[in-house]
Structure 1
Amino acid sequence: MWRQWLDHATRQDSDREIARKAGLTHSTVSRWRNAGTAPAEGIIRIARAYAADPIDALVSAGIITEDDLMNGGLRNAVRHAPTAYLTEELHERVTTGRLHGGFGELRRMFRAWSTR
């Protein structure tokens, strides 16, 4: 999966171009591509060089899992996210139909929160 992420995020740039943009050597990028993975630091460097989400890159490489995100990182991020950001995201999900369960789910969530 990491190779697929790499090709997509870099728009199938050559290993030389990836290395140049990420400040790595060509041989390092080639070695990582052939191995099908890279160390977390390298993955993050490439993601940042291409303005890609480093978390998605780490998940694609199997370094962190979706469960890791849900159990720690995501909940923590939501706790610390500005209210305006959360409100915008909720509005976007409601207006585009991406809120699974619709307003019924939203009402259930608010009821659950209010009983805490």
Structure 2
Amino acid sequence: MKDRTYPTEIGGLEIISVVDLTIGYDSTNPPNYTPFLPISSGHMIQFRAKSRNDGTSIVLTIRTSGTEPKIKYYVEGSGREEGEVSGLLVRVIEELGQVWMEDEKNGLVNKDQVVT
């Protein structure tokens, strides 16, 4: 197994898989851990996370922009209650910025939070 360190949870959910195309790693495909899909390498990581209690889950994809100095993210969720999933997605996005990316320390700005 490749010796990689990735976060183990986000928004109170357990991360159950990681696909890191930057280095060609898929945690769900032992023993060589290469990604299943024949996708060209790029700066992209995808996390799948799931609640230990109710099956609520998310998919979080983080990638760099090919044309601009940006980090982009895409997050989707599923669960029984729309309101709970919406709240979870807000928590995931906040944790992604504040904890994972350390947005303040690194001078990162969420375009949705820019005041013009």
TM-score range (shorter-chain normalised) is under 0.3
TM-score (norm 1): 0.24
More helix by share: 1
More strand by share: 2
Please tell me whether Structure 1 or Structure 2 has the larger radius of gyration of its CA atoms.
1
